[in-house]
Structure 1
Amino acid sequence: MTDDVVILVVLILAHVIGDFYLQTGRSIRHKSAKEAKLAILANLRHGASHALLAFTVLGITLSFELALLGTSLVIGTSHFVIDFIKSRLSACKGSLFCFAVDQLLHLVILVSVWAYLFDYFALINLATLREAITLEVLGIALAYLVILKPTSILIQFVLKPWRIADSADSSEQDSDDHLDKAGSLIGILERFIILTLILMNQFTAIGFVIAAKSILRFKEESRHEYVLLGTITSLAIVLMIGLIALSLL
């Protein structure tokens, strides 16, 4: 492993420690407090802790230089801005989407700082981007995109006749809709894992993913057939797409 990659891993490690292990429940509540002053101070402390962590790990792995102070301040300041904006958005309270976007933005900042430190931005040009776009890369990207939303829609069409018959009682319509949404998410995660295992040539491990659904229990026997049909359809599609993508590698 090259030294520059080690630095990137160390920066991400410092972020994980600062974001998930050094924060207390009290500081998290203060960051989202309605009182602006309290929220600003809490987010400033949190951003400062990330700046200090980044400066410390960069100083240990590289050397303690004044130039590292600027990059550490960028990490700390960006953390403050991102977290403060998120704390002011009421729609982000308890939102998985906001959490994912928040972490993605932090990761982008870390990678950008790392790329700046090792002059990787100088390597980014149209020629290198063209070289990176290969049939293998496009095939894998297309495979993942197809097995997510498009496959979910296709499975809904396949299951539609059974879904209508199973939902005749309008009093249970809402609960069935919630179950279908949860089932759709489970199916997406399942196909993502299976495709990844196929691309890694780990076909045996796919059996463990499918076996996990054997723990499902429903009062109505029709629900067993409904889930089984959806599972088999999902598995058939992801196997077909996965094997095609694997042939491109």
Structure 2
Amino acid sequence: MGLKELVLLQFIAHLCLDYFFQTDKLAKQKNTIGFKSSFLYWHGLACFALAWLFSLQLSFAFAAAIIAITHFLIDGFKRYLNNSKNFGRYAFFIDQAAHLAILTLVVILYERWNGINLSVDVSINFKYLLIVTGYLVCLKPANIFIREVFKVTEIQVSSDNEMPNAGKVIGVLERILTLTLIIVLQYSAVGFLIAAKSILRYGNNETLKTEYVLIGTMLSFGIAVIAGIIINFF
């Protein structure tokens, strides 16, 4: 295993921690009251455990502790960022960029100073790891990213006749299908998928709702397409 595999493993650990191992309710509590949230401390411990576990190296404990402490501090101070008039709407993007930048820097420094010495005998293929990462991104992280884009751009459309969370499920399914089709180089099928959704979802006279769905669809397909291009590049 080399540096790029270790970075990807830590990225996967971050995805699990911030998107799959915490509910929206707990995340909101953490972001609202900061260091007063008891969940924040458990979140920090989970960050350390996942970073250490996904490193596959006992010697990574100190690096995992740095990642966990910085993650804890960033999340703790995020409440002040959320309340900022100038940067509040960008809090999610600043928060995630800071986490990923620190994570990457710590891994690079660890590799230079300590080297990579696996504690378990396992072979890791970078492309397969990248594929797993792509599919994980296309699940809950992509839904939250799209929601935050709408928040930043102040796009809101109320709808009383749609199933709760139906849009999230549709988004996940379309991204998984799109990513799979791109990985197997079936680009024409992606166009067919977009056309099929256009027929089903845009055949109404509600202009605002149609534009809302169109933006969400383009963001959703865009995430999957970019992920597929990156995977195929490597």
- TM-score normalised over the length of structure 2: 0.47
| Higher percent of residues as helix | 1
- Larger Rg computed on CA atoms: 1
- Which structure has the higher relative contact order (CA within 8 Å, separation 6+)? 2
Tell me the TM-score normalized by structure 1.
0.44
